[in-house]
């Protein structure tokens, strides 16, 4: 494909393409587009989440987030407001507002777009490589201490809690 004036080229990613990582209690998170590929403009991550998948209350100081939910039931808390999205929906989360989510249904599918890009590295570097039939190493599942360390090492503006 041809590159534009600043050297970026069009990218097509299909189902199954991207950097897939095991996350949480059996979810798969796939980086579909990185900041490096978009010239820093955005990052796109796809979640094939299982029941109980969650992000505890946290705040982004660098990027805005957009959730595009394809299916499932997800409880989202933004600031002091809690909403349940059952089915499809879109959520815009400006930086600086505390938020969390919890997957209530057996499975859920959603994209997370961050702008500017860079936050997608959190998932590709913190998650565990996907090996068919295997889950995250025992005793090394997702936890706030582990991901806080990764976020700090990557220079991400992530604040846990209020």
Domain extents in the chain:
20-130
pLDDT in tens, 46-62: 999 999 988 888 899 99
3-state secondary structure of 104: coil
Instruction: Give 24's pLDDT tier (boundaries 50, 70, 90).
Output: confident
Specify whether the CB–CB gap between 78 and 91 falls below 8 A: yes
Runs of H (alpha helix) within the chain: 120-126, 144-153
Distance CA 158, CA 142 (A): 16
Mean pLDDT value of segment 65-87: 95
CATH number of 20-130: 2.60.120.10
Does pLDDT of 162 surpass 70? no
For position 78, what pLDDT does the model report? Answer: 93
Backbone angles phi, psi at 101, to 5 degrees: -145, 160
Mean pLDDT of 120-148: 68
Residue 156, Cβ density class (10 Å: 0-12 exposed, 13-18 middle, ≥19 buried): buried
Q: Residues near 154 by Cβ (< 8 Å), separated by ≥ 6?
A: 118, 121, 122, 125
Mean per-residue pLDDT, 25-32: 90
Interval 25-33 mean pLDDT: 90
From the number of C-beta atoms within 10 Å of its C-beta (0-12, 13-18, 19+), residue 130 rates as middle
pTM score, whole prediction: 0.84
As given in the structure block, the two tokens for residue 108 are 């859920």
**What pLDDT is stored for residue 124 in this prediction?**
84
């Amino acid at each position: 494909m041809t590159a534009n004036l600043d050297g970026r080229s069009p990218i097509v990613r299909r189902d199954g393409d991207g950097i897939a990582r095991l996350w949480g209690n059996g979810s798969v998170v796939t980086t579909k587009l990185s900041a490096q590929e978009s010239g820093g403009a955005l990052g796109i991550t796809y979640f094939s989440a299982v029941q109980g998948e969650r992000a505890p209350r946290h705040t982004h100081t660098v990027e805005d987030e957009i959730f595009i939910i394809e299916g499932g039931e997800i409880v989202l808390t933004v600031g002091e407001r809690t909403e349940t999205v059952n089915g499809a929906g879109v959520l815009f989360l400006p930086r600086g507002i505390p938020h969390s989510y919890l997957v209530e249904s057996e499975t859920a599918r959603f994209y997370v777009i961050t702008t500017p890009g860079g936050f997608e590295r959190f998932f590709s570097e913190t998650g565990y490589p996907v090996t068919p039939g295997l889950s995250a190493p025992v005793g090394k599942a997702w936890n706030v201490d582990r991901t806080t360390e990764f976020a700090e090492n990557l220079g991400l503006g992530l604040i846990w809690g209020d």
